[in-house]
Amino acid sequence: MQQPVIDLSPHVSDEVRKTTCYMCACRCGINVHLKDGKVAYIEGNRDHPVNKGVLCAKGSAGIMQVNAPSRLRAPLKRVGPRGSGEFEEISWDEALKIATDWLAPIRKNNPEKLAFFTGRDQSQSFTSFWAQNFGTPNYAAHGGFCSVNMATAGIYTMGGAFWEFGQPDWDHTKLFMLFGVAEDHDSNPIKMGIGKIKARGARVIGVNPIRTGYNAVADDWVGITPGTDGLFILSMVHCLIKAGKVDLEYLAQFTNAPVLVNSDPDSDDFGLLLRDENGKELVIDRTTGQLARFDQPGVRPDLAATHRIGDIEHRPVFHLMADQYLSDDYAPEAVADRCGIPAPRIRAIAAELARVAFEEAFELDQPWTDFRGEKHQTMTGRPVSFHAMRGISAHANGFQTCRALHVLQILLGTVEVPGGFRFKPPYPKPATAHPKPHCKVTPDAPLDGPHLGFVHGPEDLVLRPDGSPARIDKAFTWENPMSAHGLMHMVISNAHAGDPYKIDTLFMYMANMSWNSSMNTRGVIDMLTDTDENGDYVIPRIIYSDAYSSEMVAYADLILPDTTYLERHDCISLLDRPICEADAAADAIRWPVIEPDRDVRGFQSVLCTLGAQLGLPGFINEDGSQKYKDYGDYIVNHIRKPGIGPLAGFRGDGSQSGRGEVNPDQLDRYIENGGFFVEHIPAEASYYKPWNAAYQDWAVNMGLFDSPQPYLFQLYCEPLRKFQRAAEGKGPHQPPDHLRDRIKSTMAPLPIWYETDQTGNDGFSIHALTQRPMAMYHSWGSQNAWLRQLHGHNPLYLPTKLMRENALQDGDWARVSSPHGSITVPVLEMAALNDNTVWTWNAIGKRKGAWALDENAPEATRGFLLNHLIHELLPPKGDGLRWANSDPITGQAAWFDLKVAIEKAPAPTQPGPLQSSPSFAALKSPVPAAPKDLAWKVGK
Amino acid sequence: MTSLPNSTQKKLGLVIDLDTCVGCHACVISCKGWNTENYGAPLSDQDAYGSDPSGTFLNRVHSFEVQPQTGAAQLIHFPKSCLHCDDAPCVTVCPTGASYKRSEDGIVLVNESDCIGCGLCAWACPYGARELDQAAGVMKKCTLCVDRIYNENLPEEDREPACVRTCPAGARHFGDFNDPNSHVSTLSRDRGGMDLMPEQGTAPVNKYLPPRPKDALPEIDVLAPFLTPVAETPKGFLGWLDKTLEKL
């Protein structure tokens, strides 16, 4: 029989345009194949440093994002009541005039009455520059409700954290342990890394109450009780110190373990580090027995020596650690029940960490020179690496837990060594090299400096002269002193309460605050629509920018429709959250690979125009004309400081990297290069970066720092002690009395673990969590015709034990309640789950009428949110106060502290599709109904 | 009734590593993207934004929980597409000759112009690896990206199935099982590559690598060699520290 003749070499595409994905925050390189000017196919870019050719489901489904029927089409002006979804489409001229008319008087008189919060923004160095020029102190992105604990604990402890700050040394690691990792953080690199190390037989240990995704392929799964990771980690620290399985050489040279601490409880400076007149930490030099600066050439810091000045004893940090962690309180037997991990298992994992770190140590034949001028012939590998994310971060003890994990890494000597965890430029960068937060408001003028930063003691808090919070979100106050990313999740409730003050305009970008991005969703909706005694909205004006018809659109007065990611310029900047690898500095762009077919504009370009119309100094020329015609123009021509702009590549005549004059052809050079730029780090600079003279010099040349700044890892975090000290009544800056005890007990300078506050939660004993699936990003997946077929609804997964206890079977419904509310949802049994934990996929549930979905879409019927069960405040404790549901150190939203009760509920019986509750009235869609069927082929 | 070739020059297929598949669905969507735009009719979606969305996919990932006799339950991600069987019942059952197995490389294809959409092949396939496209009315199945693997318009390194090129975890491998030294043959041999449902007698070409044993880290007691205490008290520990630092 004759086989048909088929064309084995069909035409693939007319053109391939290379840009950066934005189907999640991972920022992979993509090849966009075009036919007849339309997107025909998207694949990973093999040359790209992040994904090296691979691409996840989201990335490949980008084609369904750029044709999504939920895309907004033109600026919208609200014409019905807030929440009604009644809008009329207006011109950009009118939209910009409205915005300018609202914002100009605010800037002239009370810049703080603008609250500008930018959600899942990837252009924070730009949006913060805009906000700073406007003069409001009220700016942040979404970090406060995401993973600020991880980022902040990492930076305070070791000058960087996971994800964009650093990565495991995939080429050398032999044991990889991950804690609480959401499956989309750091999406493709983690999958690639796990595949790579498993292929050579390395062990993967997953610590997570839920065994899906990465934990499903882990060799060993630790189904820990949520919120106890810190206790588990400190128990392993106990075992390792007790067995002497710590890297003493590393601790002495590169950490503050040998730094002397005032150990006299009667001294005013009790707990502070001993420093010289220039503020340099002091150690005892083992060679001379004398006090010496930690960075003095030739010094051999002594981990054991104490030092007396007058009557005051000074002990090295390592002594304090031994005192604290050798306590039987941290013995595996003492923590096993609370963690839900048998003591022998804790020991087994600690032993495996020790075995791999010390018995499988190896030397790389690579000489290097440290910051004290000492030459080393080799680099010692300790092939144990870690990664962690929101699972340990989004608890009210998350900051200390993240610190505990970093301390574990450091004790094993596995940070910035071969086989361990490696920083990615511009990290390592210690907290002291970051700006401090600024809040000085001057009408009609810019703010006095960057909004966000790192505080080093009570004197750095962002308070007004009367001690009240300067920011609407109360970041950097005694309630959460180290809130380095702000608290976007508190903005609406504070603005509604007029606490600490009332605002005029809430301006938000890419944050679905009336739905899945808020705790207490129903309450937030009520706050957004609440009116005062005059019938005026309590939050007077809301401007929102989004590309899609999200749930938040209905609650804004003015909508500035953004483009999709293939229709715009962006820069993934070294000033912001770049795409560097441990071996290279790298940044990237997005550029319009297709033109919008709607009357929409990139949000950053709109800010360039709005900034000029408002006369913001950074956005106008000397003659008052608009300085940057659009974001692409800004990316090329903006100068942050001499020679430094948003993009590090192809500067000057195109040959300069890092520092260099503006190159008008820079974007073209990026496009020619595949949309990104990479500058490799020399081999002698590739490890030990915080202490490696060659790396420090390279970083200065690249413009990452202005001078070398070697530093010690902060096992002992002195800024925490400074807050504790204030709470003890010492020093000129004093907290309010009601916060003293909490500050004293939580802001310990060595990592601790404490039970998160469940007072008032009696009867609610089951942990409830969410995870994001690998094929969805926040709410975006539901509008994607392909991805929603993978995760179109979200059952509540219950462990076998809870299914049996409640006589539940798959497909039954359950009422799930917390002190704050209840939901009724479908359940499904899952055996590979912590016995006392239930969970569901995050942000699958949708409100009817949003995202251009049919009102009977499963996302809007069976789909649900756990957000209805979580309040931004804890239940009353009887002390007359309401405490925030957040980490007391950073203000991170404690999403995962949720505890619930579960009971079987009758299945919903109303006519029509099965409906979870609560159910909200349908929003009127601002976009036309979606097509029924798709058969998407753009070529002939 | 359509006949199968007695043998094929090459035996192209996939090795799918169940030890590393994280269940991310990257392969599912990249397959959908390539094959919507390329070979034959697009892979359509019905009620795409509605209450019961349903589309054609040539590759799907299923997840199964496994409860071992002892130890914690496990979750296995199981990607499934046509296995390009040597004894493909979907081919022999085809009344029009539309389904066929290529003699040069063993790829099982549907010639859409001859397909009448009767669905017999989907019934015959024990794996559920064929889907009738509701818009085009023709049977769709994995082509092993026959329009990529020989495509001279693609760079040589890209001449592999879309699912293999995109898999972030490197859990999918493509090659010729007739060549005993090929990457796929070696991998399958070394890692105990398995046939899916061999009792069906279909002689599938694709192989699955089983997950390695899990939760095998032995639990240990206090006296484990790597955790033998150097001292019992903080004071004793500091004594050990002094002595140890002397030796450094």
Contact A785 B19 (CB under 8 A): no
Percent residues over pLDDT 90 in chain A: 92
Q: How many CA atoms lie within 13 A of B198 on its CB side?
A: 5
Beta bridge partners of A823: A816
| CA distance to partner chain B, nearest, from residue A611 (Å) | 38
Dihedral sign, Cα of residue A689, residue A692, residue A698, residue A700:
positive
For residues A555 and A525, the answer to whether their CB atoms sit within 8 Å is yes
Q: Which residue of A191, A246, A315, A359 to mutate against B (max B Cβ within 10 Å)?
A: A191
Give the pair of three-digit tokens for residue A101: 């008319």
Q: What's the pLDDT score for residue B223?
A: 58
Q: What's the pLDDT score for residue A396?
A: 96
User: Can you give the residue ranges of every domain in chain B?
Assistant: 12-209, 220-248
Lowest-pLDDT choice from A38-42, A44-48, A755-759, A761-765 = A755-759
Contact B33 A199 (CB under 8 A): no
Q: What's the pLDDT score for residue B221?
A: 61
Contacts of B1-4 spanning 24+ positions with Cβ under 8 A:
B1/B92, B1/B93, B1/B94, B1/B95, B2/A1, B2/B91, B2/B92, B2/B93, B2/B94, B2/B96, B2/B97, B2/B98, B2/B99, B2/B100, B3/A1, B3/B91, B3/B92, B4/B86, B4/B87, B4/B88, B4/B91, B4/B92, B4/B101
CA pair distance A896, A838, nearest whole angstrom: 11
Closest Cβ–Cβ partner in B21, B53, B227 for A788: B53
CA pair distance A124, A451, nearest whole angstrom: 11
Contact B20 A199 (CB under 8 A): yes
Q: What's the pLDDT score for residue A923?
A: 96
Q: What's the pLDDT score for residue A178?
A: 95
Which homologous superfamily does the CATH classification assign to the domain defined by A165-386+409-429?
Answer: Dimethylsulfoxide Reductase, domain 2 (3.40.228.10)
Mean per-residue pLDDT, A625-639: 98
Instruction: Pick A766-905's CATH classification: 2.40.40.20, 2.90.10.10, 3.40.250.10, 3.30.420.40.
Output: 2.40.40.20
Q: What's the pLDDT score for residue A834?
A: 97
pLDDT digits (tens, 9 = 90+) for A489-508: 999 999 999 999 999 999 99
Closest CA to B80 of B160, B146, B153, B14: B14
Residue B76 parent element (H or E): strand B74-81
Q: CATH class for domain B12-209?
A: alpha beta
Mean per-residue pLDDT, A703-724: 96
Q: What's the pLDDT score for residue A687?
A: 98
Closest Cβ–Cβ partner in A41, A191, A192 for B37: A41
Residue B200 falls in which region: left (phi positive, over 0), alpha (psi -120 to 50) or beta: alpha
Report ipTM (2 d.p.): 0.97
Mean per-residue pLDDT, A732-751: 97
Q: Does a cis peptide bond (omega within 30 degrees of 0) precede residue A426?
A: yes
Closest CA to A189 of B28, B27, B187, B170: B170
Q: What's the pLDDT score for residue B1?
A: 62
Beta bridge partners of B59: B81
Contact B21 A349 (CB under 8 A): no
**What are the C-alpha distances in Å from A857 to residues A867, A906, B52?**
20, 22, 7
Name residue A780's amino acid.
W
Q: A908: pLDDT confidence band, cut at 50, 70 and 90?
A: confident
How many other CB atoms are found less than 10 A from the CB of residue A278? 6
Could you tell me which residues come within 8 angstroms of residue A911 by beta carbon, excluding any fewer than 6 positions away?
none
Q: What's the pLDDT score for residue A145?
A: 84
Question: Is residue A675 predicted with pLDDT exceeding 90?
Answer: yes
| pTM listed for this prediction | 0.97
Q: A645: pLDDT confidence band, cut at 50, 70 and 90?
A: very high
pLDDT digits (tens, 9 = 90+) for B149-168: 999 999 999 999 999 999 99
Closest CA to A581 of A705, A692, A427: A427
CA pair distance A846, A496, nearest whole angstrom: 24
Q: Which residue of B3, B8, B22 to mutate against A (max A Cβ within 10 Å)?
A: B22
Residue B198: phi and psi, rounded to 5, are -60, -25
Residue A541: phi and psi, rounded to 5, are -140, 140
Mean per-residue pLDDT, A273-279: 97
pLDDT digits (tens, 9 = 90+) for A351-371: 999 999 999 999 999 999 999
Could you tell me which residues come within 8 angstroms of residue A168 by beta carbon, excluding any fewer than 6 positions away?
A176, A193, A385, A386, A387, A420, A421, A422
Closest-CA residue of B relative to A853 is B49
pLDDT digits (tens, 9 = 90+) for A615-630: 999 999 999 999 999 9
Q: A878: pLDDT confidence band, cut at 50, 70 and 90?
A: confident
User: Can you give the residue ranges of every domain in chain A?
Assistant: 16-55+567-680, 78-146+455-566, 165-386+409-429, 766-905
Question: Is residue B222 predicted with pLDDT exceeding 60?
Answer: no
Q: What's the pLDDT score for residue B225?
A: 77
Question: Is residue A287 predicted with pLDDT exceeding 80?
Answer: yes
For residue A117, give the DSSP letter: E
Question: Is residue A937 predicted with pLDDT exceeding 60?
Answer: yes
Question: Is residue A471 predicted with pLDDT exceeding 80?
Answer: yes
CB < 8 Å from A in window 47-106 of B: 47-55, 57, 63, 65, 67, 72-77, 97, 100, 102-103
pLDDT digits (tens, 9 = 90+) for A818-832: 999 999 999 999 999
pLDDT digits (tens, 9 = 90+) for A94-117: 999 999 999 999 999 999 999 999
State the Cα torsion A239-A244-A248-A251 to the nearest 10°.
20
Give the pair of three-digit tokens for residue A870: 């979580």
From chain B, pick out residues whose CB is under 8 angstroms from the CB of A345. Answer: 217, 219
Contact A248 B135 (CB under 8 A): no
Considering chain A, what is the average pLDDT of its residues?
A: 95
Lowest-pLDDT choice from A408-417, A759-768, B138-147 = A759-768
Closest-CA residue of B relative to A772 is B24
Q: What's the pLDDT score for residue A929?
A: 96
| CA distance to partner chain A, nearest, from residue B53 (Å) | 6
Contact A213 B34 (CB under 8 A): no
CA pair distance A320, A258, nearest whole angstrom: 10
From chain B, pick out residues whose CB is under 8 angstroms from the CB of A48. Answer: none
CA pair distance A483, B237, nearest whole angstrom: 37
B124 contacts chain A (CB < 8 A) = no
CA pair distance A687, A681, nearest whole angstrom: 10
Interface A-B: count of C-beta contacts within 8 A: 313
From chain B, pick out residues whose CB is under 8 angstroms from the CB of A1. Answer: 2-3, 97, 100
Mean per-residue pLDDT, A847-874: 95
CA pair distance A55, A63, nearest whole angstrom: 13
CA pair distance A164, A535, nearest whole angstrom: 46
Contact B51 A938 (CB under 8 A): no
Name residue A199's amino acid.
A
Closest Cβ–Cβ partner in A1, A58, A213 for B97: A1
Q: What's the pLDDT score for residue A1?
A: 58
From chain A, pick out residues whose CB is under 8 angstroms from the CB of B32. Answer: 60-61, 786
Q: What's the pLDDT score for residue A780?
A: 86
Q: What's the pLDDT score for residue B226?
A: 85
Q: What's the pLDDT score for residue A61?
A: 97
Closest-CA residue of B relative to A850 is B49
Contact B170 A355 (CB under 8 A): no
Q: A567: pLDDT confidence band, cut at 50, 70 and 90?
A: very high
Distance linking the first and last C-alpha atoms of chain A: 30
Mean per-residue pLDDT, A229-248: 97
| CA distance to partner chain B, nearest, from residue A351 (Å) | 5
CB < 8 Å from A in window 172-201 of B: none
Q: What's the pLDDT score for residue A162?
A: 87
- Hunting for tokens 């206790």 — which residue is that? A231
Q: What's the pLDDT score for residue A184?
A: 66
For residues A217 and A199, the answer to whether their CB atoms sit within 8 Å is no
Where do the H-state alpha helices sit in B112-161? 120-124, 146-149
Closest Cβ–Cβ partner in B114, B135, B220 for A347: B220
Question: Is residue A568 predicted with pLDDT exceeding 70?
Answer: yes
Q: Angle at the Cα of A600 (from A491 to A55), degrees rounded to 5?
A: 80
Q: What's the pLDDT score for residue A909?
A: 79
Contact B53 A789 (CB under 8 A): yes
| CATH 3.40.50.740 matches A78-146+455-566 | yes
Contact B238 A322 (CB under 8 A): yes
Mean per-residue pLDDT, A391-401: 96
Rg (chain B; Cα; Å): 25
Closest-CA residue of A relative to B171 is A195
| CA distance to partner chain A, nearest, from residue B199 (Å) | 28
Contact A244 B97 (CB under 8 A): no
How many other CB atoms are found less than 10 A from the CB of residue A7? 12
Lowest-pLDDT choice from A25-29, A185-189, B170-174, B199-203 = A185-189
Question: Is residue A605 predicted with pLDDT exceeding 60?
Answer: yes
Give the pair of three-digit tokens for residue A449: 């400096």
Q: Which residue of A786, A835, A846 to mutate against B (max B Cβ within 10 Å)?
A: A786
Closest Cβ–Cβ partner in A350, A788, A934 for B227: A350
CA B184 from chain centre, in angstroms, equals 12
Contact A861 B51 (CB under 8 A): yes
Residue A638 falls in which region: left (phi positive, over 0), alpha (psi -120 to 50) or beta: beta
- Hunting for tokens 């001859």 — which residue is that? B114
